[in-house]
Amino acid sequence: MLAGFAALFVFASVGLAGGGKIKNGNFETGDLFGWQTQNETSNGDWFVSNKKVTPIGGQSWFGPMEKEFEAVSDQGNYDSNFLYQEVKVQSKTTRISFDLEWNNRAGVWCNPGDFDANSSCGSPEPYNQQFAVYLQNFGADPMTDPVVKMLVQSKSSTPFKQGKAKYQFSNLPVGDWQLVFAAVAGEYVLNLGVDEVVQNNG
């Protein structure tokens, strides 16, 4: 089952930037050049890593999906971590693709409808535990402002641990957006790896 999921290609709608390309989408600069990050509590963050252990906890990890580096979220305590970059969608013939891998060490998924790590799916637990990839208006707050288009979001049937999974989208709404990768760990550590973020103008 996991092997089949690992080979998953998701085709949905995305139109992409006529005005440029994703900057440092493979993270091979060895840093987060071209990207912005935001954290809810500063208990976690996004890192560029070439290791097979996690940046904060030193737990076992898959390591980079392509070449030498990838972006990885990690937390020392509950947090919501956002990695994002501007994308200008000017044509419905353009595409965006990326690779994800993850390890949800909490062993439970919880999506209460927001990205606040303190939000709960029950009383009092579980707390918010999810990953998501979405488009927002450029300049929006990744945590609190509305989502324009949800591309990927974990759900109850999502495996807790997954190696490289490829996603591709086309025919997204035209506009000046930001592409956001979110890892919300309200229960326990959620490591999310991101690599090969590519914009193809068709």
Min mean pLDDT across 4-13, 52-61, 128-137 is at: 4-13
Average pLDDT over residues 47-75: 97
Please report, in angstroms and rounded to a whole number, the separation of the first and last CA atoms in the chain: 33
Angle at 38 between CA 196 and CA 126, to 5 degrees: 95
Question: DSSP 3-state assignment of 48?
Answer: strand
Report the share of the chain in percent with pLDDT over 70: 90
pTM, two decimals, is: 0.89
Pairwise CA distance, residues 149 & 66, whole Å:
27
Min mean pLDDT across 33-42, 75-84, 110-119, 123-132 is at: 123-132
64, pLDDT greater than 80: yes
Q: pLDDT tens digit string along 151-195?
A: 999 999 999 999 999 999 999 899 999 999 999 999 999 999 999
CATH topology of domain 2-200: Jelly Rolls (2.60.120)
Average pLDDT over residues 61-86: 97
Which tokens is 55 given?
């940046």
Average pLDDT over residues 195-201: 91
The answer for residues whose C-beta is within 8 angstroms of residue 15's C-beta and 6 or more apart is 89, 90, 91, 92, 93, 94, 170, 171, 172, 173, 174
4, pLDDT greater than 70: no
Give which of 32, 68, 18, 27 is closest to 196, Cα–Cα.
27
Which tokens is 92 given?
């419905």
Average pLDDT over residues 17-22: 57
Residue-range domain boundaries for the chain: 2-200
